[in-house]
Structure 1
Amino acid sequence: MRPTMNMVMIGVEDVGAVRGFYEDGLGWVAWRTGGSGSVMYRTGGVVLVFLAAGYLAAERGVAVPRGGATSLASFVASRNEVDDALLRAAAAGAVVTSPPRDRDGGLYSGYFDDPQGVSWEVVWSPNMALAEDGSLVAGG
């Protein structure tokens, strides 16, 4: 069974800083960029879309969530990738809020807050695998 890929939209004050953190700091590759300054990344079954905060607020007509209101998970292919992601995030200015550790169900994960206040869990699971497009599939 293949889960549907989710899309998460986050408004940020400085899209350039976000791109610097995710692309230069974590090594993520932008999947698509838009004319409004938006940028999309595909990670762990999620399409993550960063939009300028003012643009997102105008489009939705609501206040943009701030200060850790958004929490996301990125599934990676190995335990070593969990360790590497957290080290790279810290080196790029993120705050590691929980170092990598073994969890129930065989999971191995750690947490960080990116410079925009988005909370992330980086997870490896023995029961999930990553497809080439970044989506999650059963197996491991």
Structure 2
Amino acid sequence: MDQALHMLMVPAGDIAALRKFYVDDLGWHTWGPDMPGSLMLRAGTVVIVFVPRDYLAAESGIDLSATPRAVNAIFVETKADVDAQFAGAIAAGATITSPIRDRDGGLYSGYFADPDGNGWEIVWSPAMRPGADGGLTLALPQTD
């Protein structure tokens, strides 16, 4: 699958305005579980997750002082894939910012910063599967 997803750190108060713009004005669909204070969206194969800055900074361990700031997530098919890709990134010069562990919602992931300072998460979720269109699908109902 190796589907990339883009997480953007935003002030918590901006989530309502982002929902209005993407869902009401552009017609994107909300996607995934309803996470208070966050917004998960999908249009075709593009997935964007807006998360509050404090949450993403605490989870990733990456310096996220700029607003907005992105952390790239790569979803893989197995926990073993998480371990292998994470180890490969560290061997190539990345720095661990938050070690691999089981996280909220059944996620298994770890965060690192590449040599250029970009933030990355390698993640596996039992609810995510590759879809027929090549995008990610969730084994949960899509909401609007």
With the length of structure 2 as denominator, give the TM-score of the two structures.
0.48
Compute the TM-score of the two structures, normalised by the length of structure 1: 0.49
